[in-house]
Structure 1
Amino acid sequence: MKTIFLKDIAKHLGLSKTTVSLVLNNKGDEAKISTITQKKIFEYAKRNNYSPNHLARGLSRGKTETLGLIVPNIADSHYAVIAQQIEERTKEMGYTVVFSSSNENPKDEGKLIRTMLNRQVDGLIIASTQQNHNDIELLKKNNFPFVLIDRHYPEIDTYSIISDNFGGVKKATRHLIELGRHKIGFVTLDSKLEVLRLRKKGYQDTLKQNNMEFSMVKELDQIRYNQEMEGAIHDLINGTNKVDALIFSTHYLTALGLRELKKKKINIPKDIAVVSFDEMSAFDLLDPPITSIIQPVKQMAKQAAEVLINSIENKLIMEQKVNVLETEMIIRKSCGSN
């Protein structure tokens, strides 16, 4: 169904936009607009599924000193830390944060953006599904203050803060090669997410640069990765192409992979060295502790809050740039030694 705007209602009913706006904002009686006219406006708006332009309304209202944060999953330890750090920094700067999870669903993300705007937040911080181009473009078109964190849209100019996903995996792959590992496997998700694409590219490019012909990538389904991990590990540790090292592209894939390796009585790092992109708090407590690529999560979160609030306070149009922050490799015993 075609989207209609306030001006369309006014034109169809032969009324001014001011009259229509007053009625739809429940100020018809106050403005002494007749009951008949109000009824016509409400009925036409309802019949044509009119939705208020909260973006435009947000530009004209005063500040609420509230920010909206939308992440894929607030229960994920990675995003829990991001949320905690954003909340801490915004509180220091006199703002509060409203949290929501999109569950990696672009439609839910769009609904959450509109809900946040309806709640009249002053700005948004979004870890996007990267499948919600329309809403991101609309925010940009209306100059609504927002920052993309952890993920971004390469084809849309926005202010984005991300980790060096490509460089982080390059470090890990290079480290394993230096330790004499010649059959390095890579476990990731079958996903269109730019961050995962860059991690895989970091692995593949490093192998090519070191003239290594062996390459073994396992891409698991985004929904069924838990069930598929067992088969992936079986393939990676058996046959003529069995690996002597594994890089997992996320912390939760690492946890699942370690479980399967333990079930199959694989000795880490004697049989297989293991590196995780990102980590869980227990990784340094395991036997052996897991080598991890650490994202600058606290820096990302605080910077996102500071840049966004500065834009709001000073009424600045958001700068359009991708701020890539360096990752750090914490070397532990899961890689062995040279």
Structure 2
Amino acid sequence: MKKLYLKDVAKELNVSKTAVSLVLNGKGDENKISQETQQKIISFVKEHNYIPNQLARGLSRGKSETIGLIIPNISDTFYSKVAGVIERKAKEKGYTVLFSSSYEDPKTEGELIQSMLNRQVDGLIIASTQKNKKEIEFLKKEKFPFVLFDRFYPEHDTDYVIVDNFYGTKKVTEHLLGLGRKHIGFVTLKPGLEPIAQRLQGYHNALQGHNIVANHDYVKEIKREEYFSEVEEALKDLVLCKQPVDAIVFSTHYLASQGLRVLKKLKVKVPDDVAIVSFDELSAFDIVEPPVTAVVQPVKEIGCSAIEILLSKIAGEVQTKFQTKVLKTKLEIRGSCGNK
């Protein structure tokens, strides 16, 4: 079937393209287009299944009706879940979402921001590498609608949606301490991202609150790009040493997932030999044996909050200050911690 364009509708009905566009956008009456002409246009497009080009329609209104979403990696379960929420909520409001992954590369992220702007998106939602201050300042200067989520720039005022990483890790560490676990390891990523730093602070704060001097040898920092091999070396140091840990907090779900593989390989029993907890979770964490205790992030609330804030900015709603949300996490206690 030949694709029908607005100009074809106008030519077939012997009316102007402007008239067709106004009627299809529900503005026929206010522009004094006769009911007869409006009905003729509506009947014709229904009969021929005409679908207006969204970009062209949007641009006629000064909008593209698209939103750009830049995340570290769409294959990461956390980001894919948040992206799904954003996509559904955006669709309800008549917007299409363009997805892109930065793969934690600042240069790629900067290029994606520019590419999205070139494609005339109406706004951006970004889980930033936190290494693109120049681009963030540019968006602020141009008053371009954007919202950060998961990561933000503490030294720059922006709209953002994050979770309370500090309290989430503090709570799960305190849970382990309450079970009598005193030698708690922390497997995390190399410094660089604010959420990771906050999780480490929460771990230390929990130990201090129980008058436990932190053992620096119990904190293992992993390179993201080499986490498969480095997690194995880290766990060997933690569980096969003279004074092994009796619990391990993993600062991300993929570190925890790899940690479980390594512990099985080392024949270390969970939770008998070592208790395991994870910040964030995988869908399989509740069905593996034993099920994994995890700090659960409010994925739906994160996505909904981000899109709501962005749409309010796109609509030009007057705001006296930046909109920021720090959402609470939930501790899902399962068998990997054992009993007191």
Same fold (TM over 0.5): yes
Pairs within 5 Å for 1:72-151:
72-151=72-151
**Alignment partners' CA distance in 1, 2:180 and 2:99:** 45
**Alignment partners' CA distance in 2, 1:314 and 1:232:** 50
**Alignment partners' CA distance in 2, 1:114 and 1:316:** 26
Aligned to 2:228: 226
Q: Secondary structure at the match of 2:287?
A: coil
Aligned to 2:39: none
Q: Secondary structure at the match of 2:283?
A: coil
8 Å Cα contact 2:204-2:214 kept in structure 1: no
8 Å Cα contact 1:146-1:318 kept in structure 2: no
Aligned to 2:38: none
**Residue-by-residue CA offset, 1:106-148 (whole Å, 9 max, x unaligned):** 1100100000000000000000000010000100111100000
Q: Using a 3 Å threshold, how does the CA distance of structure 1 residues 142 and 229 change in structure 2: closer, same or farther?
A: same
Q: Secondary structure at the match of 1:97?
A: strand
**Alignment partners' CA distance in 1, 2:258 and 2:318:** 45
CA shift, 1:98, in A, is 0.4
**Residue-by-residue CA offset, 1:59-81 (whole Å, 9 max, x unaligned):** xx811111000000011111100
Aligned to 2:280: 278
**Alignment partners' CA distance in 1, 2:145 and 2:115:** 16
8 Å Cα contact 1:188-1:196 kept in structure 2: yes
8 Å Cα contact 2:159-2:324 kept in structure 1: yes
Q: Work out whether 1:290 is the aligned partner of 2:292.
A: yes
Q: Secondary structure at the match of 1:224?
A: helix
Aligned to 1:246: 248
8 Å Cα contact 1:274-1:290 kept in structure 2: yes
Aligned to 1:62: 62
The TM-score with structure 1 as length reference comes to: 0.80
**Alignment partners' CA distance in 2, 1:132 and 1:311:** 21
Pairs within 5 Å for 1:200-219:
200-215=200-215, 216-219=218-221
Q: Using a 3 Å threshold, how does the CA distance of structure 1 residues 318 and 158 change in structure 2: closer, same or farther?
A: farther
Q: Using a 3 Å threshold, how does the CA distance of structure 1 residues 211 and 77 change in structure 2: closer, same or farther?
A: same
**Alignment partners' CA distance in 2, 1:239 and 1:226:** 20
Aligned to 2:173: 173
When the two structures are aligned, how many residues end up with a matched partner?
Answer: 280
**Alignment partners' CA distance in 1, 2:320 and 2:117:** 17
8 Å Cα contact 2:176-2:337 kept in structure 1: yes
Q: Secondary structure at the match of 2:98?
A: strand
CA shift, 1:195, in A, is 0.3
Q: Secondary structure at the match of 1:155?
A: coil
CA shift, 1:243, in A, is 0.2
> Gaps spanning 5+ residues in structure 2: where?
1-60
**Alignment partners' CA distance in 2, 1:129 and 1:328:** 25
The TM-score with structure 2 as length reference comes to: 0.80
CA shift, 1:191, in A, is 2.7
**Alignment partners' CA distance in 1, 2:171 and 2:209:** 13
Structure 1 vs Structure 2: percent identity of aligned residues? Answer: 53
Aligned to 2:190: 190
**Alignment partners' CA distance in 1, 2:273 and 2:226:** 27
